[in-house]
Amino acid sequence: MPIVVQNDVIGVVGITGDPEQLVYIAPLVKVTTELLTEQALRAKEEAREKRRLERFLLTWVGLTTESDQTADLINEAHALGINLNQQYQLILINTTILIHQPVDPNSYKIRLNPDELVIITRQPAVCQSWLALAQKQQYIVGISTAQSLLGIALAQARQVVDYNRLTRSTDPNYRLEIAHIQRLLAAKVDVSDYRQRLIEVNHQPAGHELIATLKMYIELNGNMQQTANQLHIHRNTLHYRLSQIKTKIGLDPKVYHELVMLYIALIDYQLN
């Protein structure tokens, strides 16, 4: 009996036995063989397409400049139905656990490293869905801004993950504050003495209150009234706390260049 798959004869099956019984058995054998063969071929083709997409995604998340978009890469993107000129958000989930949840159409999932799962999407609902799933499991998450160059998006998401791991922040979104902090730390300003004084202050009575005040004062750009309002204290109380910070740490929060040093010391303190 010829075995026909996708309109091509791919082989022949011979059956021996009683001809009267084979009249009923042979068609079943033929159909079963053809179905199993078609299923195996489909599985092989799906696996091939999956590997093809994974290879493309690994290249895509490495793009940091327009010149990285070669003609071959653009053609491959077109064949896969991906528009490299569109902007995507990249969600980086820090976990070694396998997550079998499928992604929506026109969104993509790939594991870059044993502890890095990446989702690429243009749909806010997909971002929120994966964020909710990751936060439920208490995974650290970083979400980039929308980018057409995914290498930049990946770098942003990694910075968020690193920052959140060290500071225990739960905000998954990339923001300029993180970029500023990265640049400040890269400058390698020596604030070890001030960091040690912050540690000592934190172990003193009301020390935690002083550090919380300093953080809020910095976050609100040194605005006295807004800081007092946010902390639900009188301005005179805020003045007193800032003077205590100056006395105990040796830097005056009301002097701009000393506030910058305090900011770097506070970052170093939080990270260490």
What stretch of H or E contains 35?
A: helix 19-60
Which pLDDT does position 5 carry in this prediction?
Answer: 67
CATH dotted code for 190-271: 1.10.10.2840
Which pLDDT does position 98 carry in this prediction?
Answer: 86
- What are the DSSP calls for 51-116, one per residue? HHHHHHHHHHTT--SGGG--HHHHHHHHHTT--TTS-BEEEEEE--S---PPPPTT-EEEEEETTE
Q: Is the pLDDT of residue 55 over 90?
A: yes
Cα distance between residue 216 and residue 231, in whole Å: 8
Q: Give ranges for CATH 1.10.10.2840 in the chain.
A: 190-271
Q: Could you give the maximum distance between any two Cα atoms of the chain, in Å? A: 105
Considering only CA atoms, which of 50, 49, 59, 77 is closest in space to residue 150? Answer: 59
Q: Say what the pTM is.
A: 0.68
pLDDT, tens only, 18-50: 666 666 676 776 777 767 777 877 888 889 999
Q: Is the pLDDT of residue 120 over 80?
A: yes
Cα distance between residue 144 and residue 160, in whole Å: 8
